[in-house]
Structure 1
């Protein structure tokens, strides 16, 4: 009934370096994706090209997608919701998390933060999007997104888990308030009365309805800055690919225990975490440049 909008073909952009690695003692899985390397560079051109097709379902609700499906200006309607690239520090992470939850986890979006903004310069305090994962016919997970772009991978993880703990424990604008907010916006997101009733039944479950169980989970995206020895770009292509991919994998693997530690520190054992990681070169410049290209329908990589 609720379908993903991003095809598994999106994953063809990446080397899948770590596949669904289960963190010991935690209900958590880690996936590391590295953008394909060509001529000793990440293929950002291909990333922008693919994100151009993803930005519409990211920015628009299901109802808007249905309303504007025959409108040739649907892309313009969508990108107008993006913030100005000069002040845009986090939206690339939100977009990539959306794409990965849909294409890899196969968890369709219920809504993104984009749909709750009152203006393009107004960030809503809360999750970076909400997705629904069907475990089986009886069990579902409501997945709240948390994305961080940080030069240092461990610092990005720290920020993500701290934000999640705050989201769960603070008195206002917490996870329960957001579930209520989702409930009030379901009419906007649902394209049919049948879908609305189905989603409402899952999001606000009844103890009397033992046919359905819902648990809350978190999708985490951390993008970090890959620091390379300047001499590496002079390596033969195959050597460069091998060394860079190995460096990235080692960077992520050595922080697996840190993920376990943060879950333990905040006593988050009752939640499932889906952790996604993508490295960047020149992160600060790249994230702004990607958003700029999306906003002006250009590709200057």
Structure 2
């Protein structure tokens, strides 16, 4: 719940509510940007991807697309969020375009993610222009605005940065729960980890083939995978808990 506000609203709007101590209004508006939980199959994955990129990678979100839902334009068919990341012990940056998918089968999730990335390759300039038009809403300090502009248009910037595109992928998928004889808590944890790793490793060849088939060789991917025992029902429950 704590990340919903920053995921769904612009920094400018969040700061305004916080400065006015209007926390209830802030929470309400953020939750209202989500579609109804009964028909919402995509936004929870986007929220997970945002949480991992911001929380685990420390890759700040550049643009809150949820906040643009009332803005005319076909942005909804583009990437599921845009972040930037400074590579450790380097002067290089990655501009990360997100794709979040939640499918029962892991391979189906990867297939759809790579297809979307391949389809959106030609639309990245549109997305950069979209970010550029929203910089004033997303960033307050002049140095932050200058950094983002330099990341978007490194050849035009006074401060020259080394920037390349990358892709953040979140896949939610389903596995079967343990149904064997009695087992200890440690034993169950070991079984769960082994089951997930064996399942993922068995799909690596197919995943690599999908990268090749979609002409994505040579790109950088940051991948987060999350297993569920009952993906459909859990997604509904979680989305309901966030939005109500």
* TM-score, normalized by the shorter chain, greater than 0.5: yes
Q: 1:210 Cα deviation (Å)? A: 7.2
Partner of 2:76: helix, strand, or coil?
coil
- Provide the rounded CA distance (Å) in 1 between the counterparts of 2:52 and 2:157: 34
1:249 deviates by 1.3
Q: 1:201 aligns with which of 150, 163, 174?
A: 150
- What is aligned with 2:238? 290
Which residue does the alignment assign to 2:228? 280
| 1:10 match | none
CA distance in 2, matches of 1:208, 1:225: 45
Matched position secondary structure for 1:278: strand
> Displacement of 1:142 after TM fit?
0.7
Unaligned runs of 5+ in 1: 1-51, 297-301
For residues 225-266 of structure 1, what are the alpha-carbon distances to aligned partners after superposition, in whole Å with 9 as ceiling and x for unaligned? 11235x348543333222222111111122222232222222
Corresponding residue for residue 128 of structure 1: 80
Which has the larger strand fraction?
A: 1
Q: Matched residue of 1:86: which SS?
A: helix
Q: 1:63 to 1:75 in 2, by over 3 A?
A: same
Q: State the partner residue of 2:201.
A: 253
> 1 CA distance for matches of 2:104 and 2:207?
17
Structure 2's unaligned 5+ residue stretches are: none
Q: Deviation above 4 Å: which 4+ runs of structure 1?
A: 207-210
Distance 2:90 2:10 in 1: 25
SS in 2 for 1:279: strand
Distance between the aligned counterparts of 2:66 and 2:182, measured in 1?
41
Alignment partner, residue 146 of structure 1? 99
State TM-score, norm by structure 1: 0.74
Structure with greater proportional helix content: 2
The offset of 1:67, in angstroms, is 1.1
Which residue is 1:263 aligned to? 211
Secondary structure of 2:192's counterpart equals: helix
Q: Secondary structure at the match of 1:218?
A: strand
The normalised TM-score by structure 2 is 0.90
Structure 2 Cα separation of the partners of residues 123 and 295 of structure 1 = 22
Aligned equivalents of 1:286, 1:163: Cα separation in 2: 24
Distance of 1:207 and 1:113 partners within structure 2? 25
SS in 1 for 2:57: coil
* Contact 1:225 1:281 survives alignment (8 Å): yes
Following the alignment from structure 2 to structure 1, what is the Cα–Cα distance between the partners of residues 177 and 219? 35
Partner of 1:89: 41
2:117 aligned to 136, 153, 164, which one?
164
Identify the match of residue 68 of structure 2 among 101, 110, 116: 116
Shift of 1:134: 0.9
Give how far 1:209 is off: 5.2
Q: CA deviation at 1:123?
A: 7.6
Match of 1:179 in 2: 128
Contact residue 118 and residue 215 of structure 2 kept, 8 A:
no
